[in-house]
Amino acid sequence: MSTEPGAPEAPQTGEPGDTGAPTAPEAAGPSDAAHPEDTPDAEAQDGSGAPDGADGAAGTDAEGGKDAEGGKDAEGGTDAEAGTDAAGGGAPQLSEAEAELAAQKVERERIARRRAERTAPIEAGAKLSGTAADLLAAVRAVESGGKPARPVFDDAAPAPRRAAPAPPPAPRAPAPAPAPAATPEVLAAVREVLAGGGAPEALAGPAVEALGTGAAELLREDPWRLLAVTSVRPAQADGFARALLGPDCGPGDERRVLALTGWLLEQAALKGHTALEQPVLASALGQYAVPDPERAVELAVSEGTVIVFHEPLGEPAAARGTEDPEEADEEVPVRVLLGLESHTLAEESLADGLFRLIGTFGKGGDADWEGAAAQAPSPSAAELVRAAAGHGLVVHTGGEAARAEPAALVAAARSLGLRACAATHTADARDRLGAGAVTVAGLLSGTEGPGRDAEGALALDLLVVLDAPQLDVDRAAALVESVPDGARLVLSGDPAVLGSAGAGRVFGDLIAARVCPQVASRTPDPGPVGELVSGIGVGELNQVDAPGKEVVIVPVRDAGEAVHRTVQLVADSVPRAFGVAADQVRVITPGHGGAAGTRALNAALKERLNPGPGRFGGFDPGDPVVHVPAPGRAVPGRVVSADAAGLHLDCAGERVVVPQDRVEQAVRHGWAVTAHQAVGSRWPAVVVVLPGDAPEALSRDWVYTAFGRAERHLSVVHGVDQALPRAVAEVLPKPRTTRLTALLRTLAAQTAQE
C-alpha cells in the first residue's frame, strides 16, 4: 500500500490505521421529521431510533440519537427505513416501490389467512407446569378473547412448545390497487388534533399514512398512537398525550404501555431483530418509566400487541431420535420470545416456503446437467451447477469474483431450455451481471423479469438471487412465495458483508440451519484490493503490495483535514493518477452526521464539483443523489430538473419524480454515502473516510463492505490510530434475535420423522 496518488508529500504508512469515533447524536423530533436514513442502522447498530431499552441480550442498541451509520442506511440500512411517506397526494399509477410494497402487503395478508386457517390442535402443554403452564394458559386465553388470570413471567424458564403442523398453501392474490389518497377533510381533522396536542401539523400526512383515514379519532382516543409515525419519539408522544388528556395520564397508562411495546419491537426490527427475549423487552420498558415492566409485557400479550414463542435452547429428544424413555421425557430449556405479528408470521411463512420448494422439487426430466457442468468456466461453477441440478434449494457463498458462478448457472439452465433468471440487490449489480438480470425490487413489483403465471407465481424454472444477505424476512417471504412449486431457488451472496436493512437474518440463518446444499466458492477476488478485503473477512488487516497504488493510505489529524483531503482526492488526485472521472469516485463514511459525515462531505464536494444555489431543496441539475423510494432501499441517481411536480431524477436510466413534500425525507446528495447505502454496488475508485470520531461505528463487516466497493483503487483517509485493526480483528457483527434457524431445523426434524 502507498500514500495518496499524486501527493508524494504524505508520509507512507504500512497499513490502514484506525477508524473514527462515533458521530454526534442528532435527535429527531416530531417537528423535524427524520430523513429516512437517520434512523437506527443495522451496520454498527448504534444509530438513532434503536430501541433505547431493548439493548443487551438481544443485541439492540440503547442509544436513541446517534447518526453514525451503525444502524441501517438508506439502501440496506435502517437509516433509509425510517423514512415516512407523506400522505395526501398519491399518484394514480403505482411506482416500482409502491408496487413492491403492495406485493409485500399481499404476502402479509396471505400469511394472516394462512394463520387463520390453522384448525389443527397444537400439541403443546402436555408436560408443562408452573410458569410454563401459566404462560400457555395465558396464550390460550388471549386466543379465546380473554386475559391471563395471573402474571405469566418470572425468573423460571418455561418449557418448550412443539411447532404447529404446516398449514396448506393459500392461493396467491394479485397486487391490490393503490390506496386512495387522504382527502383534505381527513388531513384537516388530523391537523386539528395535532395542533391541540402541540404537535407539528406537518405530521398530518405521515399520521394518516400510518393510522389510516381514521387517524384523527384514533389519536384523540389514544394519543400514544402518534408513535406509529416514524420520526416521533416516546418523550414527544408523552408530551402530546399530556396536552390532550391532561394530568390524569401517567407512565403506567395501558395505552402508553401498549404503544411503547409495539414501538420498541419496531425499533428492534430496524436493528434486524424479528423478536426480543422477554427480559430484554421488559428491561426496555423499564427504561421508559413503565412502573411494572413484567406486568406490562403480560398486558401486551393479553391484548394481542405481541405474540409469544418458545424456542428450544437445545435439540429436542424427538429430533435426536432417542429411544431412552427417561431422555425422551426430559424437558428442553427454552427462551421466551416476543414479536410483532407481521415479522413473526413472515418468518414462519418463509420457513414453510423454503421447505415447500424442497418438497415439491422435480429434477427436470432429461436435461443434461452433467454436460452443462462440464462446460462451466470454473470448478466452483461446475459444483454449483451440479448442486442446482439435484436440489430445489441451494445456498452459494463467495466474494465479488464469485458472482460469475451463479451467472454461469443461469446460462447453463437456459442452454438446457429452462426458464432461468438472476436477480440482484441494486441496478448497478444487475448491469454488471448482464445476461437479462433483474433487480429483486423490479421482480417483485412486476416491472422487471419474466412476469407471472395464472396463479401469480413467477414464470420460472430457476431463480438465482444474488446479494442474498440483503433480503429481510418480508421481502424474502414474498420472493419465495412467488417461486412456483417444483422450481429451483439458489440464494447467493457474501456472508461477510453488512446484513439486510430490514428485520431478519435470512441468509445467515439459512446457512446456520444447514437444511440444503451449500456451495462455497473457491474463486478469490483479484488484485491488491481483493487481497486486502479477503484478509479483512477472516479478521486480518494485512499490508498488501500495491505497486500501482491500488491501495493508498492518507493520514489525517482531524475531521476538517479529512474533509479537505477527501475533496482533493475525488476532484484531483484520483482522476489525475488513474484516469477515473470524479463522478466515478465514491466516498464512503461511517455516518451521516458529524464533522466528516455524509452531510459535511457532500456539502464540500458539491461546492467543488457542482456549485449552485440549490434551487430545489438544496439540489441542482447534475447533482448525484441517493433516492430512498421505500424502506431499506437506496437508489443512486442524478438530478435532472425540478418543477411544481417535484424533483426529477434519472435513476439508472429510469425517470423518477419525487414530490416536493418527499424531497427532504427521500433524497440525499450522493457523492458521499454510508456503507449500507453502498452494498451491492461497486465503483472504479472508492475513498473510505475514517475520521477520528468514528471508532464505535466500525466493525469487521463494515470495513469489509466499505473497502470491497472499490474495483481498481481504494484510498483510505485515515485518522484513528489502532481502532481500525481492532475493529477488523475483534468487533464482529452484532447478533440479531431471529427465529428462522429454529423454524427450519424443526421442519427438517419433522420431515426426517415422516
Residue range 386-414, pLDDT digits in tens: 999 999 999 999 999 999 999 999 999 99
Where residue 148 falls among pLDDT bands split at 50, 70, 90?
A: very low
Tell me what pLDDT residue 207 has. 93
Please say if the pLDDT value at position 254 is more than 70. Answer: yes
Tell whether the model's pLDDT for residue 214 goes beyond 70. Answer: yes
Question: What is the radius of gyration, based on Cα positions, of the chain?
Answer: 26
pLDDT at 154 over 90: no
Helix (H, G, I), strand (E, B) or coil at 640: strand
Helix (H, G, I), strand (E, B) or coil at 308: strand
Average of per-residue pLDDT across 82-110: 52
> pLDDT, tens digit, for every residue of 610-631?
999 988 889 999 999 999 887 7
Q: In the predicted model, is pLDDT for residue 40 greater than 50?
A: no
Confidence check: pLDDT of 474 > 90: yes
- Asked whether the predicted pLDDT for residue 30 surpasses 60, the reply is no
- pLDDT over threshold 80, residue 487: yes
pLDDT at 465: 97
Strands 624-627 vs 710-718: parallel, antiparallel or unpaired: unpaired
Look at residue 725 and tell me whether its pLDDT is greater than 90.
Answer: yes
Instruction: Report the C-alpha gap between 630 and 211 in whole angstroms.
Output: 18
Least confident of 52-61, 143-152, 318-327: 52-61
Mean local confidence (pLDDT), 663-677: 93
Mean pLDDT of all residues in 118-132: 40
Q: Any idea which of 199-203, 515-519, 700-704 has the lowest mean pLDDT?
A: 199-203
Residue 162 has pLDDT above 70, yes or no: no
**pLDDT given for residue 691 in this prediction:** 92
- pTM of the predicted protein model: 0.79
pLDDT at 700: 97
DSSP line for 193-249:
HHHHTT--GGGHHHHHHHH-TTHHHHHHH-GGGGGGSTT--HHHHHHHHHHHHGGG-
Selection from 534, 546, 542 nearest residue 577 by Cα: 546
Whether the per-residue pLDDT at 367 is higher than 60: the answer is yes
**Rounded to an integer, what distance in angstroms lies between the CA atom of residue 264 and that of residue 313?**
24
303-312, 465-474, 517-526: which range is least confident on average? 303-312
Bridge pairing between strands 585-588 and 624-627 = unpaired
Of 142-151, 221-230, 289-298, 493-502, the one with minimum mean pLDDT is 142-151
Residue 53 pLDDT exceeds 70:
no
Q: What is the mean pLDDT of the chain?
A: 80
Cα separation, 380 vs 377, in Å, equals 9
| Phi, psi dihedrals of residue 615, rounded to the nearest 5° | -65, -25
Instruction: Say if residues 122 and 164 touch (Cβ distance below 8 Å).
Output: yes
Lowest mean pLDDT segment, chosen from 57-71, 257-271, 504-518: 57-71
Q: Is the CB of residue 18 less than 8 Å from the CB of residue 39?
A: no
> What number of other Cβ atoms are within 10 A of residue 609's Cβ?
17
Q: Inform me whether the pLDDT recorded for 196 exceeds 80.
A: yes
| pLDDT for residue 312 | 82
What pLDDT is stored for residue 125 in this prediction?
A: 38
| Range with the poorest average pLDDT among 169-178, 557-566, 666-675, 740-749 | 169-178
pLDDT surpassing 50 at residue 662: yes
DSSP 17-69: ---PPPPPB----TTSPPPGGGS--SSSS-STTS-TT-BGGG-B---S-B-BT
> Mean pLDDT across the stretch 484-497?
96
Q: What is the mean pLDDT of residues 14-35?
A: 32
- Residue 247: the pLDDT is 82
Query: What pLDDT was estimated at residue 332?
Result: 73
User: For residues 223 and 747, what is the distance between their CA atoms, to the nearest angstrom?
Assistant: 42
Helix (H, G, I), strand (E, B) or coil at 266: helix
**488: which strand partners?**
462
Q: Which pLDDT belongs to residue 10?
A: 34
pLDDT at 110: 61
Say whether pLDDT at 540 is over 70. Answer: yes
Please tell me whether residue 334 adopts helix, strand or coil conformation: strand
Smallest CA-to-CA distance from 141 within 304, 324, 253 is with: 304
* Structure confidence at residue 515 (pLDDT): 95
Least confident of 33-37, 95-99, 724-728: 33-37
Give mean pLDDT, residues 353-372.
85
CA 297 to the chain's CA centroid: 26
When pLDDT is averaged across residues 83-101 and rounded to a whole number, the result is: 48
What is the four-CA torsion angle of 103, 108, 109, 112, rounded to 10 degrees?
A: 160
- Please report the pLDDT score of residue 173 as a whole number: 39
Which of 532 and 664 is assigned the larger pLDDT? 532
Q: Is 242 exposed, middle or buried (0-12, 13-18, 19+ CB in 10 A)?
A: middle
Residue 346, CA distances (Å) to 224, 471, 525 in order: 26, 12, 35
State how far the Cα of 221 lies from the Cα of 245, in Å rounded to an integer: 9
> What is the tens place of the pLDDT at every residue in 634-653?
899 999 999 989 999 999 88
Candidates 363, 343, 340; CA nearest to 351 is 343
Task: Examine the pLDDT at 253 and tell me if it is beyond 80.
Answer: yes
Question: Does residue 55 register a pLDDT over 50?
Answer: no
Q: Residue 98: which pLDDT band, with cuts at 50, 70 and 90?
A: low
Section 169-186 average pLDDT: 56
